[in-house]
Homo-oligomer: A and B are copies of this chain.
Amino acid sequence: MKQEKISPRVIERLTKYLRCLENLNPEDYISSEGLAEKMGFTAAQVRKDLSNFGEFGIRGKGYNIRKLHSDIEKILGVNKTNNIILVGVGRLGTALLSEPEFTKESFNIAGLFDKDEKKIGTEIMGKKIRDLKEIEHFTSSKEDIAMAIITVPKMAAQEVCDVLVKAGIKAILNFVPVKLDIPEGVVIENIDLYGKLQELNYWKERKLK
């Protein structure tokens, strides 16, 4: 296992391999060429990505799909349930809660937080909405809450981020279109819908020519 310097792109591709493998027969074998073709990558890329984490294939036979799926899950740490909290139970937060993917076992939304007094104490999808102020107490009284999703209004985002960091959150999925300041030791992924539309718009204009 040589895990010194893994690029974020490698990890991104691992999640894509996982998604691809999910749609295949777990009893089958697939070659790096076969997997590469499905992904639109090269076979060398597939082999290189996986070689970062060990030996997975069988020479002449390829990868057993069930085994490779399970191995990638282990690498990503999604072979177990990971607790998440969600902050900001507005339309987008509520929509995310009901996404079918969140019914999978790898992620469990363990707590919902908002600062709207009308929402605090009510339930949504069978989960209680708690006061933002309770985050630190909540995360310290439960084990293994290290990840949060932020879907609050723009103005509140940095404040919420600071509260989360103080509460020991190590990974943040941020849907708010602002660049949040985070200290070393915390990772963030920003999902910027508007930015993505702007990017698409650039390429679209070129496709129309």
**Chain A residues at the B interface, C-beta cutoff of 8 Å:** 8, 11-12, 14-16, 18-20, 38-39, 75-78, 82, 84, 90-92, 94-96, 98-102, 104, 106-107, 146-147, 153-154, 170-173, 177-179, 185-187, 189, 191-205, 207-208
- Given A84-B197, A92-B96, output 7 extra A-B contacts at Cβ < 8 Å: A14-B198, A19-B177, A77-B202, A101-B193, A106-B201, A173-B193, A189-B199
Complex contact A204–B147 (CB within 8 A): yes
Please classify the interface of chain A as helix (H, G, I), strand (E, B), loop, or mixed, using the class held by over half of its residues. Answer: helix
**Residue in A94, A147, A197 with the greatest tally of chain B CB atoms within 10 Å:** A197
**Closest CB in chain B relative to A111 CB, distance in Å:** 16
Say how many copies of this protein the assembly contains: 2
- Pick from B11, B78, B200: contact of A203, CB below 8 A: B11
